[in-house]
Chains A and B, each alone.
Chain A
Amino acid sequence: EVQLLGSGGDLVQPGGSLRLSCAASGFTFSSYAMGWVRQAPGKGLEWVSTISGTGRSTYYADAVKGRFTISRDNSKNTLYLQMNSLRAEDTAVYYCAKHLGPWTLQPFDNWGQGTLVTVSS
């Protein structure tokens, strides 16, 4: 059974940093692209970033480009999102999600439970 366990969400001040983690199990982690999708309170879904199975290719939404960095450690079956220069508009539940295959342009077929990031002074 595929399991994705996100963690690391917290209350942080504007301009601060945070690192989210997502521990994966139940599948061959390195064979699948992984991504982050966020949802602001009461709002819809917004794709944030995706990384290829090897980790060599990364992609970002314009809203986070230059501030967020996605990475993965295939030896630890773990996905990360380093979030810097946080803004109030980054406040959201962040979901890690598994793509259906090794490429970026694939559906998300499994999702973690979400971790809440609140950016406020």
Chain B
Amino acid sequence: DVQMTQSPSSLPASVGDRVTITCQASHDITNYLNWYQQKPGKAPKLLIYAASNLETGVPSRFSGSGSGTDFTFTISSLQPEDIATYFCQQYDNLPLTFGGGTRVEIK
């Protein structure tokens, strides 16, 4: 199985801050990496697919990069509505696996 290690697990930040989350895969997954946002009590929402492609309707302050085993997710200027938990997920191999999540909160 491909293990996904996401860090940090918690990220206090201020509105307007640049926020960066990393995700490391235990094996080369090329660019088969997604990022999801989950707000409390809600279903996850796809933000980024194939490592760097912005899903339709997602604000451009969200971005992703990386390939192979190391990936980065960035919010260029944190907004109050971005407070959520973010998960990476690989889809190179079954079983599909997720990172442990990063809880972004207001400092």
Contacts and interface: CB of A to CB of B under 8 A. Distances in A.
A, B in one complex: yes
A105 B89 CA distance: 11
The range of chain B's interface size is 20 to 34
Contacts of A112: 43
A46 B98 CA distance: 7
A48 to B, nearest CB: 9
A15 to B, nearest CB: 25
Interface stretch (B12-20, B44-52, B67-75): B44-52
Interface string A105-118: 11111111110000
A104 to B, nearest CB: 7
A8 B34 CA distance: 29
A50 B45 CA distance: 18
Contacts of B100: 44
Contacts of B91: 105-107
21 contacts: A37-B44, A44-B98, A44-B101, A45-B36, A45-B38, A45-B98, A45-B101, A46-B98, A47-B96, A61-B95, A95-B43, A105-B96, A106-B91, A107-B46, A108-B34, A108-B46, A109-B49, A109-B55, A110-B46, A111-B43, A113-B43
